[in-house]
Structure 1
Amino acid sequence: MQILTSLGADFRALWSLRRLVVVLTRREFAARHAGSVGGIVWAWLPPLLTLFAYYLVFDVVFSMRLGENAPTSRVGAYLIVGMLPWMAFADATQRGMNSLLEAGGMLQKNPLPPAIFPARSVLASTFVFSPLILLLVFFYTPSHHFASGVFAVLPLYALQILLCFLLAYLLAVLAAALRDVVQVVGFMLSIGVFLSPVLFPVTMFPEAWRWVLWLNPMSAFVMGYQSALLQGAWPAVDVWAVVGIWVVVVGGVLNMAISRSRDQLVDWL
């Protein structure tokens, strides 16, 4: 069976070089804030302050409330559940997309599997956001009361990490071939949050246009997190179906991109 052979070979290479991946991930995480007084504290401080600002402004100062069909009435609490996974997705995807361009010189001198570098960037980003996702689980205990649905956060986040790697790797290959991809993706990430249920419940979006939300890879994930954390309910079947479709489609496109760029990738860099 010849399906996904190129991507499968890269996964096997990553597993065989897993110790090197761990070392490179640690170095990238440490290098991001090397030389600053705060050190690695700066990795967590900006997202934490951003989330606190949402809570302070929307729930404390303005006491804004959502409609009856929303999973929670508090606007700040609603925004935090969607925004943190979105920040994790955007950070991992953007850093992973630039990973091959940044490692061009190393790849030209060493016969390393290209997959190592987007994997390193995505894992370093995951190291930052994983503790914050875990904090959300405990912070929202009054909403979900540790009902069984809250444990859906674990497979959701695992699938999100997988999708981030596949998408970042694909974009890294495309960016190596065409540098304009970096600018296009940066723009798409800046407006993508408005085409997802991060800032508003799905019920507020015009019903005839709700299919547009499914074109955003994070919409299903955000809806899953909202169900798990705000209601303690297991995400609906269609949420898992869309997540699975995104993983399979991006994986398939990535496999084709790897197969067709294997011989030219280093030259592009």
Structure 2
Amino acid sequence: MLHAFGNELRAVWSARSLVWVLTRREVAARHAGTAAGILWPYLQPLLTVAAYYLVFDVVFAMRLGDGAPTHAVGTFLVVGALPWMAFCDAVARGMNSLIDAGGLLQKNPLPPVLFVTRSVLASALVFAPLLLLLALAYTPLHRFAWPVVAFPLLVLVQWAICLLLAYVLAILAAALRDTVQMVGFLLSVGIYLSPVLFPMTLFPERWRWVLWLNPMAAPVQGYQQILLQGSWPAASVWWVSCAWMVVLVLALNVLVARSRDQLVDWL
């Protein structure tokens, strides 16, 4: 049933050494020619979350109402904003990976999935240390309660969703370039349709189901429950995330099978 998807997994595993080399080169290319060097990819996310905390918690001292996992607005925003930035970076770069590698793919019979995997892994290498710092900054508030062990699993779930979604979009972008423009717009407004900027409890209950259409809604809610409340992620976090992965795997299996002969020509 998932023959095409299984072949993609085997291709990545067989070429895992090449994927690692390509990933390191992409990470290096992100800061090539910059004065800050390897620190540059980390500076923008760090400065962004620092600005959230400074503006909302220190300068304006804004507070959320009852029902929020924490009252400090900046403290709340940081927990969701950093994973959201990681998601946007991985999806956007993965979506463009096949187009960027078009010339190479036309000259070499390499599996296209290697280039999508490279881009998403490169983003993971950049943001994984930042997510670790986020966990280390918040978990002492709850005396390193046991729910913190769910944090690494949730991070892995997020990157699995990123990889699957990026590959789906990369194939669609190869077939129709308008996909890049459309997804870029959705990523820019998607933060407003997720519990990143506001607790889910503040969203009208009758429309709350709309938030679950954002693939990052469930992981972000899980991060908030772990880091802000010191509690285990709700069951809805896991089953919604799993539902997203199942849907993406099925969609990817169909797209890979139908685009196998035309993909390189589209590029």
Task: Report the secondary structure of 1:150's partner residue.
Answer: helix
Asked whether the equivalents of residues 139 and 145 of structure 2 are also in contact (C-alpha less than 8 Å), the reply is no
Distance of 1:5 and 1:166 partners within structure 2: 16
Report percent identity of matched pairs: 65
1:180-205 deviation per Cα after TM superposition (whole angstroms, max 9, x unaligned): 00000000000000000000001110
1:82-116 deviation per Cα after TM superposition (whole angstroms, max 9, x unaligned): 00000000000000000000000111111111100
Alignment of 1:229-248 (within 5 A): 229-248=227-246
Distance of 1:45 and 1:179 partners within structure 2: 31
Distance of 1:14 and 1:144 partners within structure 2: 39
Task: Report the secondary structure of 1:11's partner residue.
Answer: helix
1:58-77 deviation per Cα after TM superposition (whole angstroms, max 9, x unaligned): 11111111112100111001
Residue 259 (structure 1) aligns with:
257
Distance of 2:214 and 2:106 partners within structure 1: 35
Residue 130 (structure 1) aligns with:
128
Equivalent of residue 161 in structure 1, options 159, 176, 181:
159
Residue 177 (structure 1) aligns with:
175
Equivalent of residue 46 in structure 1, options 44, 47, 54:
44
Task: Report the secondary structure of 2:254's partner residue.
Answer: helix
Residue 147 (structure 1) aligns with:
145
- Superposition deviation, residue 145 in structure 1: 1.9
Distance of 1:32 and 1:230 partners within structure 2: 32
Asked whether the equivalents of residues 151 and 228 of structure 1 are also in contact (C-alpha less than 8 Å), the reply is no
Asked whether the equivalents of residues 92 and 184 of structure 2 are also in contact (C-alpha less than 8 Å), the reply is yes
Identify which range, 136-145 or 21-30, moves more after superposition: 136-145
Residue 99 (structure 1) aligns with:
97
**TM-score, length basis structure 1:** 0.98
Q: Which runs of 5+ in 1 are unaligned?
A: none
Asked whether the equivalents of residues 143 and 231 of structure 1 are also in contact (C-alpha less than 8 Å), the reply is no
Residue 23 (structure 2) aligns with:
25
Task: Report the secondary structure of 1:160's partner residue.
Answer: helix
Asked whether the equivalents of residues 100 and 114 of structure 1 are also in contact (C-alpha less than 8 Å), the reply is yes
Asked whether the equivalents of residues 144 and 228 of structure 1 are also in contact (C-alpha less than 8 Å), the reply is no
Task: Report the secondary structure of 2:37's partner residue.
Answer: coil
Alignment of 1:190-201 (within 5 A): 190-201=188-199
- Superposition deviation, residue 144 in structure 1: 2.7
Q: Which runs of 5+ in 2 are unaligned?
A: none
**TM-score, length basis structure 2:** 0.99
Task: Report the secondary structure of 1:40's partner residue.
Answer: helix
- Superposition deviation, residue 5 in structure 1: 1.1
How many pairs does the alignment contain? 267
1:34-75 deviation per Cα after TM superposition (whole angstroms, max 9, x unaligned): 111111111100100001001111111111111121001110
Distance of 1:57 and 1:4 partners within structure 2: 49
Residue type of the alignment partner of 1:215: L
- Superposition deviation, residue 141 in structure 1: 2.7
- Superposition deviation, residue 223 in structure 1: 0.3
Residue type of the alignment partner of 1:25: T
Residue type of the alignment partner of 1:210: R
Distance of 2:135 and 2:174 partners within structure 1: 38
Asked whether the equivalents of residues 95 and 121 of structure 1 are also in contact (C-alpha less than 8 Å), the reply is yes
Residue type of the alignment partner of 1:267: D
Residue 78 (structure 2) aligns with:
80
Distance of 1:141 and 1:209 partners within structure 2: 32
Asked whether the equivalents of residues 98 and 174 of structure 2 are also in contact (C-alpha less than 8 Å), the reply is yes
Distance of 1:116 and 1:88 partners within structure 2: 20
